[in-house]
Chains A and B, each alone.
Chain A
């Protein structure tokens, strides 16, 4: 009854929050010995909310963000991966575009040049097709949710967005992925693709609550185990529908469909993967994209950072 509390946050409407919903819905927090407080916050202030210490663990930060924050003097660190790149470029049904190149000079919607979503798509396109979307596309900027009606109204020919808005957009416009970041990039590199989100915590919180950190990690492992073992059908549960704000059955179908072709979550935290991610960050900083230098300790393992489980 008197379990220690942990506040966990994710972006509202993003599938990044699904593991939290499962933890809550299936009682995994209690099972692993903590009392979870799960918060789903609008995309606008979510990182700030975490940085000012209003939640203990954020499930929605990409390693870029962590690198930037560390570089600016915030003691935050990613200690586990969460979401694969469940994002990409979506075009409506009738679109004539076959590759991202066909969108050159066209109107495209995104929600911010500095967002993880846009940055990942931008780097991937740069690498795969050799051009910079920021220069070649004519961008329109609104929030991630508003991109859907924007695409539907024909105001833009494509959008850069993440799940579940991708599924919403696909249903709303009978559309499809023009570029699925995880799938297309890992095919291109023959295996490695960076991932979008991590479990991030403040360094001192981790040091003060090592066993809680392990407990959350375990709960997460079990949550994605449930996802995979049910073939993502667990997404049909009411608490997910409500949590993600899915507007129709059709969207859910697409969401599950997409998950099957590209798994949404990962818990591969191998030294190789961390090293590859660090190399990716180095490359970004060398290209001068968003970060100037890569600070130490962006990604750690709990075992290294707080010592093995007691």
Chain B
């Protein structure tokens, strides 16, 4: 599995700020894996995603030290337009991602491809296919401005996926959605994983992340404090010192340890915890 994104001693400070937002980041992200980025607010999660997409030097300005490589090529050498095809980016606020110039969801999904000059027939095929995948195929004729938060977020996903980017960066997609819509979003992320795309999600809902992500990166006050498989990272005590939220099943396991009845293996998902607790009950 090749390395698609690499951070080489990256530090970055936003313009007009005294303190650097992120300091000395070093990490390598492999293609086809799903990474969860967790950490407190203003700890550097969003800056990490922006750096990956090249928004930090190109759009926000500020000072960048070290270099970010995408598919081996330094970000600064990438053309603006190529970047938006290479890396898809979905944002936190669903309603800010509606273009406002299209009157139906069908055309809204096609907008990205229209900008890139994709042929009409190919566009129609891709839109229908992606709309089915994202469960908005029943909303194709609705006006995008009249959609609910969850529907808007799914349409935003669809219009980015239509560009067929291999890497998708998602910055807190579910913070304004209710639990049902959050599950829909994570189902989409699951489908992306099955298609072999690299997915990077910054998110607060840690319980959902634990179920869907292969690897977790924990970032707090500007530096990576832990990186590895979900099981290792969540058990790492440094997370609790830096105030990083961990899944409830993990805190349950830790409390069970204090109460003298530890689990044999650190659980990550609810089903796993229930299975282990049942075994423990029969064992007693």
A and B from one assembly? no
- Interface, chain A (partner B; CB < 8 A): none
